[in-house]
Amino acid sequence: MANVTIYHNPRCSKSRQTLALLREHDIEPEVVEYLETPPSASRLKSLLKQLGLRAADVIRRKEAPFKELGLSEKLDDDDALIAAMVDHPVLIERPIVVRGRKARLGRPPEKVLELLD
> Rounded to an integer, what distance in angstroms lies between the CA atom of residue 87 and that of residue 85?
5
Contacts of 82 by beta carbon, 8 Å cutoff, 6+ apart: 41, 44, 45, 48, 55
Q: Give residues with Cβ within 8 angstroms of 93, minimum separation 6.
A: 57, 58, 59, 60, 105, 107
Q: Which of 1, 3, 8, 12 is catalytic?
A: 12
Answer yes or no: 18 catalytic: no
Residues with a known catalytic role: 12
